[in-house]
Structure formats: C-alpha cells, structure tokens
Amino acid sequence: MILITALDVTVIAKHFGLVFMKNVMLAAFAYALFAQFPAQAGNCGGGAHAHNPQEMASKFFDQMDLNGDATVTKAEFEASPVAKAVKSFDSLQPNESGLVTKKTFIETFVKTHPMPKNEV
C-alpha cells in the first residue's frame, strides 16, 4: 500500500504547477483513507458485539465465567476483565452460596440497562 501524505500532495501540486492536481490528490487520499475505514451509519461494522441487553449481559457473563459452569465466583469475577468496570462483586447480587448465576445476572442487567429508544 502506498501512503501519500498531505505534504506529498502539496509538493506534487507545486512541482506540476497544477492547482487542480492538489484537489485530485487530496480526494484520492481521502477516498483511500475512508476505504480503509468504511462509514458505519446505523451499523457498528459487524464486529463481535451485541446491542440488545440480553446479548450484552450474556457476553459480559461469559467473560466472567472462566470455567464455563454458568455461575461466577468472587475469584472468577476478580480475575475477569469485567471487574475493572464493575465496582464490586456484591453489586452482581450473588446468591446465598456466594455465586452469581447467569440467569440472575442477565435479569438484573436487563432491568438496569434497558434497550436504548433508538434501537427498539
């Protein structure tokens, strides 16, 4: 891939003495740049993510459930990347055994994170 900077465009335009050349090269540069990162109006690029609260909750839970047993212990929570975003394990409302179940986590998450109105 050839990368042309704005300075290169200016030098080329001066070299050829053509003002329109600068505009053409800038347009080509902008096109090449935006072709690398297409606009995602109304779309998030199709990456591995979720928009509805149930899917989001499930993905967050799976990041915490390190052994895949559909429950999260305090140790699993503390070792997960989610711990950086959640203030404490207790805020996940663990049951009397000290575990957070997937079902309870999703229900709580959905109650506290309703779907945005523009995505309903």
Domain range holding 24?
Answer: 6-36
β partners of residue 119? none
Q: Are residues 28 and 58 in the same domain?
A: no
Average pLDDT value for the chain: 74
In a domain, 60, yes or no: yes
Same domain, residue pair 60 and 31 = no
- The residue with greater pLDDT, 113 or 15, is 113
Handedness of CA 84, 89, 94, 97 (dihedral sign): positive
| Total domain count, the chain | 2
Strands 100-101 and 71-72: antiparallel
Domain match, 62 and 32 both? no
Kindly state whether residue 42 falls inside one of the protein's structural domains: no
How confident is the model over 54-74, as pLDDT tens digits? 999 999 999 999 999 999 999
Question: For position 89, what pLDDT does the model report?
Answer: 93
pLDDT surpassing 90 at residue 98: yes
- Calculate the alpha carbon distances from 89 to 15, 17, 44, 64, 81 in Å: 65, 67, 30, 11, 13
